[in-house]
Amino acid sequence: MHSSELPDPTPYLDGGELLLTTGLGPSADPDRYVARLARHGLAGLGFGTGLGHDECLPAVTATCAREGLPLIEVPERTPFLALARAVAEARAAERFAEVVRTDEAQRALTAAALGQDRDAGTGRVLDRLAERLDAWVLISDADDRVRHAAPRQASGRAAALAAEIARVREHPGPSSVTVATGGGQVVLQPVRLVGPAVLAVGRDRQFTPVDRQVIGSAVSVLTLAHARSAAAGRAEQRLRTAVLRALATLPGCGAEQVLTDTWGPLPDGDLVVVALGGRSAGRQDVLLDALERASVGFHAELDGQVAAIVGAEAVQPVLALAGRVRDIRAGISDPAPVAGLGRALREAGRALDAAERRDRAVLRFADLAGSGLSALVVPEDAAAFAESVLAPLVRHDTERRGDLVGSLREWLAHHGQWDPAATRLGVHRHTLRARIEKVGGLLARDLDSPGVRAELWFALHSRDRGPGLPLT
């Protein structure tokens, strides 16, 4: 509330005030005076009567009606000071009510977050927030999935907000976005759960400053509740990793009993290990969280990968969960008994490595057998091995225009039989024999050894697959 007798008080007003005047200000040009106040966004005009004017100026009344500016007549017996005091007391009561409401909301949200079940606590917080604000609420996680929604059907609103949600989630620092929807609003704020997530709160009318404080309180409660449970979760994951490593390296040491007592027994019959990983950082926590919430098999982080031990029938559910996380690859072992989990873990890890090299979403270890030994070796390592082994032969052929590499390839391809290999090369068998003796001398290896022949054949095969060895 403000009082002024200036012809133009707007330079001293912010907008939203109730302006009081005894009529001196508007008397010169009532139309212009009132229109200027309306454009400035005042809440209303209080016209004091019984002093300069016995009643409101007719021109002021008409212009206020035309401009939609509320007009209040203030008789002389009601001093302006009394109005100012009444407004101040009402505002103070309003602010106190806001503090009480915010405090009550914080208490309710904190109580909802308490408990050991992290997911249930998050759901209860969203339920309370929706009730307090008479709004719909949802959380979209790091992979654009609606993790929780209140009411449940509110999850369908995430699709229309996908672009705004992504913008808030990917912003490097804390941010808040308000989206206008018809006559209502949607407030988006980042929240840290398992990976970056976004809290969306919407309704068909605008949010007040107190409402926004309550939303901020919900974000703080969710973040603190997650940090509290995440510490216990990290300790449990370390225990899971230790149990899995013991199962793999020390069968019969009692780790299976620890697993059964803590997380329940493994499935009956043969087991399958699904190794999950990817090039994107920060995906392990998301994977472990998804497996934990789905209660699929026993899972743990081991050597930079997430391993899930399941029965054969649960492999597809694990792959479906992994498929919801971006840039994830999966390697699947052959079935194995509990005593063979070490072998199954190695198989799944090799299949995962091959899946990443081939840019395959899923690869089974059994599929690698049909691809040959080279599928199990990193191409760069195979090329380096071939270069090291065959370098003396490549150098000889380059400098002396021989064909030791080609002769060795044909001789090995014909299982060391001289006549068929020589015929294929178009040389005399004695010439081929001399070349192979030269190969053995340059390589300082016994070519009658099956192991040496296998290594040389692998080196030649790796060289053929690659761009060729440097002629050094």
Task: Report yes or no on 103 lying in a domain.
Answer: no
- Domain with 406 in it: what CATH number? 1.10.10.2840
Instruction: Specify the pLDDT at position 470.
Output: 39
Residue 420 token pair:
């068929």
124-129 long-range Cβ contacts below 8 angstroms, 24+ apart: 125/218, 125/221, 125/222, 125/225, 126/150, 126/218, 129/201, 129/214, 129/215, 129/218
In a shared domain, residues 349 and 387: no
pLDDT tens string 253-282: 777 888 888 888 888 888 999 999 876 655
175/131 same-domain check: yes
Classify the C-alpha dihedral 308-311-317-323 as positive or negative.
positive
The reply to whether 224 and 121 lie within a common domain is yes
Q: Which two tokens stand for residue 122?
A: 């998050």
- Examine residue 241 and state whether it is found in any structural domain, yes or no: no
Tokens found for residue 183? 């006559």
Q: What is the pLDDT of residues 402-450, one digit of tens each?
A: 788 888 888 888 888 898 888 888 888 888 888 888 888 888 888 888 8
Residue 333 lies in a domain: yes
Mean pLDDT (whole number) for 167-196 = 81
Q: Give the model confidence (pLDDT) of 143-164 as tens digits.
A: 778 888 889 888 888 888 888 8
Question: Within 13 A of 237's CA, how many CA atoms are on the CB side?
Answer: 23
Last residue of a domain, one of 372, 403, 420: 372
Which is nearest to 463 in space by CA: 397, 406, 402? 406
Give the CA count within 13 Å in the CB-facing half-sphere of 405: 22
Q: 58 in a domain, yes or no?
A: yes
Same domain, yes or no: 413 and 324? no
Task: Indicate whether 107 belongs to any domain.
Answer: no
State how far the Cα of 37 lies from the Cα of 70, in Å rounded to an integer.
11
Does 374 have pLDDT greater than 60? no
* pLDDT over 50 (residue 469): no
Residues of the chain above pLDDT 70, percent: 88
User: How many distinct structural domains can be found in the chain?
Assistant: 4
Domain that holds residue 271: 266-372
Instruction: Please tell me the pTM assigned to this model.
Output: 0.45
List residues bridging with 309 in a β-sheet: 273, 298
Look at residue 281 in the predicted model and tell me its pLDDT.
52
CATH number of the domain at 367, please.
Answer: 3.30.70.120
Domain assignment of residue 244, yes or no: no
Does 218 lie in the same domain as 297?
no
Q: What is the domain-level CATH number for residue 141? A: 3.30.450.30
